[in-house]
Amino acid sequence: MGRIDVAVVTGGGHGIGRALCRRLAKDGAKVVVADIDSESAHTVATEIAGVARQIDVSDEAAVTALVDEVESSVGPIDLFVSNAGVGFGDGKSGAISAEGGMNPIDDRWTISWNVNVMAQVYAARAVIPRMLQRGEGRIINVASAAGLLSQIGDAAYSTTKHASVGFTESLAIDYGDAGISVSVVCPQAVATRMIGIEDDSGKTEGGFRGNDVDGILSAEAAADIIVDQALEGRFLILTHPTVSTYIQRKTGDYDRWIGGMRKFRRSLLE
Ligand SMILES: NC(=O)c1ccc[n+]([C@@H]2O[C@H](COP(=O)([O-])OP(=O)(O)OC[C@H]3O[C@@H](n4cnc5c(N)ncnc54)[C@H](O)[C@@H]3O)[C@@H](O)[C@H]2O)c1
């Protein structure tokens, strides 16, 4: 597959998305920094001589329009990275919570579903037909280790990230033979605002209120692993290799794994 001349990165204004934009630009791509946060998208685009686009990726018409507009004004999209994602946390009664958290419960589930899953569906629907015509293209969907294991304390996040992994599997199975390279990214903790660490703080500790397991990667380190492994044609990209062991333990004995997660949850509550 050819080089990446044009890439779109959703959620490119902050965190992992911003680091992906920087890495892809360094590799010579013209990068479209697409984010709901217009100011941060412009800041990143200016820094990397890219293009900023303000977009809410949960709006299908906006995603379709973005793909159309980028293809005509910037060029054929070689790589589309659906990276934008949200997590709100359960309320105090756990997975069934109808109270607490950062938004009303229905909004939390709806926004998580639309941003973490449907936005990836909308992007694929818009861009894959064009890639099929060209006989090549790359899709990277950023899910989470929570999409393979589980995020204690956020049922909506865990559920929607599982759906993201499932959808991306379908893309890889359906379009791989037609020359489309598809990857799903399943990180554990990465130092971004999502886990309470501000961009440019230089910190790689103290996220998840200090409950991070297995260490926190910088966004730059995560971006390098993601791009390198996607270019190698890998489907499953694990920025934290221990996740591979956890998946094997889970699938090897699911009930034992649930028991281990209960124990882990108890330890977090102590
Ligand atoms: N940080 C972690 O520990 C971690 C771990 C696993 C997976 N992830 C995933 O990585 C991806 C990037 O997250 P991050 O950690 O860089 O977080 P972040 O909060 O720093 O960045 C998320 C970006 O997405 C943008 N965004 C949010 N909703 C949007 C919308 N509707 N339309 C367009 N843009 C929107 C935000 O403005 C922000 O720029 C997410 O999908 C997240 O679930 C993060």
Give a three-class secondary structure readout of 117-138: HHHHHHHHHHHHHHHHHHCCEE
Under the banding of pLDDT at 50, 70 and 90, the label for residue 106 is low
Predicted structure pTM score: 0.97
- Cα(212) to centroid of ligand 1, in Å? 17
- Cα(253) to centroid of ligand 1, in Å? 31
Q: What is the mean pLDDT of residues 96-121?
A: 81
Q: 159-162: which pairs have CB atoms within 8 A and are 24 or more residues apart?
A: 159/112, 160/112, 160/113, 160/116, 160/117, 161/85, 161/116
Beta sheet of 180-185, edge-to-edge order = 51-54, 30-35, 6-10, 79-82, 137-142, 180-185, 236-237
Mean pLDDT of the chain: 94
Look at residue 209 and tell me whether its pLDDT is greater than 70.
Answer: no
State whether residue 140 is helix, strand or coil: strand
Cβ-based neighbours of 55, under 8 Å, separated by 6 or more? 10, 34, 35, 36, 62, 63, 66
Mean pLDDT is lowest, of 215-219, 221-225, 266-270, for: 266-270
Under the banding of pLDDT at 50, 70 and 90, the label for residue 260 is very high
The reported pLDDT for the residue numbered 104 is: 59
CA 16 to chain centre: 8
The reported pLDDT for the residue numbered 99 is: 64
The reported pLDDT for the residue numbered 14 is: 98
Cβ of 35 below 6 Å from ligand 1 = yes
Residue-wise pLDDT tens digits, 158-206 = 999 999 999 999 999 999 999 999 999 999 999 999 999 999 898 887 6
Return the axis-axis angle of helices 155-175 and 105-113, rounded to nearest 10°.
Answer: 20
Mean pLDDT is lowest, of 59-68, 152-161, 199-208, 223-232, for: 199-208
Cβ of 14 below 6 Å from ligand 1 = yes
Q: What is the mean pLDDT of residues 5-15?
A: 98
Task: Give the closest residue (by CA) to ligand 1 atom 25.
Answer: 11
* Closest to 74 measured CA to CA, from 48, 46, 51, 41: 51
- Cα(108) to centroid of ligand 1, in Å? 15
| Percent residues over pLDDT 90 in the chain | 84
Cβ of 37 below 6 Å from ligand 1 = yes
Domain over 6-269 is classified CATH 3.40.50.720: yes
**Sign of the four-CA dihedral 230, 232, 238, 243:** positive
Cβ of 21 below 6 Å from ligand 1 = no
C-alpha 194/C-alpha 149 separation (Å) is 18
Q: What is the mean pLDDT of residues 220-248?
A: 97
Cβ of 60 below 6 Å from ligand 1 = no
Indicate which atom in ligand 1 lies nearest the CA of residue 146: 6
Cβ of 11 below 6 Å from ligand 1 = yes
Establish whether 254 is a catalytic residue.
no
Cβ-based neighbours of 58, under 8 Å, separated by 6 or more? 111, 114, 115, 118, 119
Under the banding of pLDDT at 50, 70 and 90, the label for residue 100 is low
Task: Determine the residue type at 270.
Answer: E
Strand partners, 52: 33
User: Structural domain boundaries of the chain?
Assistant: 6-269
Mean pLDDT is lowest, of 11-20, 151-160, 208-217, for: 208-217
- Cα(44) to centroid of ligand 1, in Å? 15
DSSP 84-101: -------BTTBTT--S-S
User: For the chain, what is the radius of gyration of the CA atoms?
Assistant: 18
Q: What is the mean pLDDT of residues 215-227?
A: 96
In the set 122, 157, 175, 246, the catalytic residue is 157
